[in-house]
Structure 1
Amino acid sequence: MMKQQNITRTKGITLILIGSILWGVSGAVAQYVFQKQHVSVEWLTAVRLLISGILLLAFSYRKEGKHVWEVWKNKKDALNLTLFGILGMLPLQYSFLAGIQHGNAATATVLQFLGPAVITCYLAIRSKRLPTFKEVSTVFLAVLGTFFLVTRGDIHSLSISGWALFWGLASAFALAFYTLQPYTLLQKWGANIVVGWGMLVAGLAFSFIHPPWEIEGQWSFPTYAGVTFIIIFGTLVAFYFYLESLRYLSASETSLLTSAEPLSAAFLSVIWLGVTLDFVQWLGAFCIISTIFILAAKKRDIKEINC
């Protein structure tokens, strides 16, 4: 019995680590196609959402059949799902990719990890209570880490562009909304259906801003390979592995192990794309990532689905 538990736990750990690393690697690949191949952030956002949404719903249809369509028959659920796609999924996907374009994959990914600290502040305010010591520590480390990451410790200068900081912080707030808003939908319909429709709704909405057939960039084999990797491995496979890991691990354990995402993004950015992070910036990244470990120790977990 104990041996079987160890096997399933190892499987869960393996799945979430691979999924998190794929998320991190896809961030570095996105930086490459934006900054080296000049692919449009708007185009990649629309195409990534549309293709991933369609494939995820097709996968769900194979398992659940016509149940995939039932969510649209309930007016309240249909409205919430539409809001999730347009106000949650779309801002999260676009702000994260825009943060990479204006900065780099390392800082964009780390700044997005401020999301749990934003959630902590929101829940404390909504419940009209004073924050606990653990929550205060989390917010302090998040703010301190952000300061180190974007200024290198010098309050008079920014080590990244203003737009990179703006979109990085925007992705953290978008992640908070994305995590909290669809809670009831996820409980009722499941993650595959909710996220699949959320992606498709977001992709269709964004197509009115940037049609997917308006293609930009320098297209060669590395560009095609990079975009394919982002859509298939950095979105579909990574998301599927994350969901599968929840069958074997608790939400707090998966939250801890998703810290592999910013670490892999930072590692690839440095060794492949020539991004330089000094000691103070690494310290800032460590402060932000450590908030995940602190929050994961709480008894009440918030299940989170990443980009």
Structure 2
Amino acid sequence: MKNKRLIGICFALISASFWGIGGTVAQYLFQQKQIDVNWFVTVRLLVGGLLLVGSQLLIGKNIFGIWQQKYTAVRLIIFSIVGMLLVQYSYMISIALGNAAMATLLQYLAPVFIIVYYILVGQQRFTKFDALLICLTVGGTFLLLTNGQIDSLSVPLSAMIWGIISGLSLAFYTLYAKPLLASQPSILVVGWAMLVAGVLFNFVAPFWQVGEASIFDTSTYAALTFTILCGTALAFWLFVASLNYISPKETSIFGTLEPLTAVVSSIVWLSLPFGLWQFVGALCIMGMVLGLSFIPTQPKTAAS
């Protein structure tokens, strides 16, 4: 029993680390290898979706069952466009315009947006704990983006806006996916959503049209392989697999490692300057996420 629990913990920690480091690797591709962010989103969605759906086909799952009911099929298409595609694109464009650490932390505003939504629709009462979490989030975001300097931003305004959009879209992604996940395997839901989103975005940025300024060398191919294989397909598979050994509550707690690894890997690998007050802001946001993880009645956000 202890060994199984240890396996679950390792799976959850590795998946969160892969997601966090994957964002930093994407920043490296955008800013040092001039990889076009639109092309990257198309390829990541297509290949990640193929890997996830293909893995289920290999173990004998009915991969087309999700399309057999009109309601489920329509909901999956909406989820693919407004959920999956918008989450992926807004997160990646925020990284390209700013940095992975900031984009990941801003995406983790999603739990607060979910709390606000439930309060507005009357499904949850506003509590002192909610007020504390919102204050932590607002204060942490302010410090993160300004490093305590009111008259300046530590990242471009456009990166900040896309990061907040990423958090909003992740909130929608989490809420809208619940009926699908209640009746369908999560890997198939995410895999098909990636495929549908990738096919549609391919009309915007075809995968065969690589930007002329892009630098393709050994390190580029290695980084692309990591972000697509480890940072997308394998990370999600490990996340789902961890639920076989530990509770969703525990998995979400270990998931707070994602923004931490994004920050640390950006500082260590890409020499990202990070001021004292930005560290305080990052701790506030991670404290908010950790606090939500200890409350079983609160909705959990999906992973990146």
| CA RMSD of superposed structures (Å) | 1.2
Work out whether 1:266 is the aligned partner of 2:242.
no
Question: CA distance change for structure 1 residues 69 and 241 in 2, over 3 Å: closer, same or farther?
Answer: same
Tell me, yes or no, if the aligned pair for 1:251 and 1:302 is still in contact at 8 Å: no
Greater displacement, 11-20 / 243-252:
243-252
Partner residue, 1:54: 50
> Which residue is 1:22 aligned to?
18
Percent identity for Structure 1 against Structure 2: 39
How far apart, in 1, do the equivalents of 2:57 and 2:10 lie? 27
Check the 8 A contact 1:53/1:198 in 2, yes or no: yes
Aligned residues: 302
**Residue number in structure 2 paired with 1:145:** 140
Mapped partners of 1:121, 1:53: distance in 2: 31
Q: 1:241: which partner in 2?
A: 238
Distance, in Å, in 1 between the alignment partners of 2:194 and 2:128 is 37
Aligned twin of 2:8? 12
**Deviations, residues 74-123 of structure 1 (Å, cap 9, x unaligned):** 11111000000000000101111111111111111111111111111111
272, 275, 280: which is aligned to 1:278? Answer: 275
Change (3 A) 1:300 1:82: same
Distance 1:163 1:282 in 2: 21
**More deviation, 278-287/288-297:** 288-297
The residue type equivalent to 1:171 in the other structure is: S
Given the two structures, how large is their TM-score scaled by the length of structure 2?
A: 0.96
Correspondent of 1:218 among 206, 215, 223 = 215
1:278 Cα deviation after fit: 0.7
Post-superposition offset of 1:128: 5.6
1:107-122 alignment, distance < 5 Å? 107-122=102-117
Structure 1 unaligned regions, length at least 5: none
TM-score (normalised: structure 1): 0.96
Q: Is the Cα–Cα contact under 8 Å of residues 118 and 124 in structure 2 kept in the other structure?
A: no
The letter of the residue matching 1:59 is S
CA drift at 1:257: 0.9
Aligned structure 1 segments of 4 or more residues deviating by more than 3 angstroms:
none
| More divergent stretch after superposition (249-258 vs 84-93) | 249-258
Which ranges in structure 2 are unaligned for 5 or more consecutive residues?
Answer: none
Deviation (angstroms), 1:248: 1.6
Matches within 5 A, 1:132-281: 132-216=127-211, 217-281=214-278
- C-alpha separation between the residues in 2 aligned to 1:35 and 1:85? 27
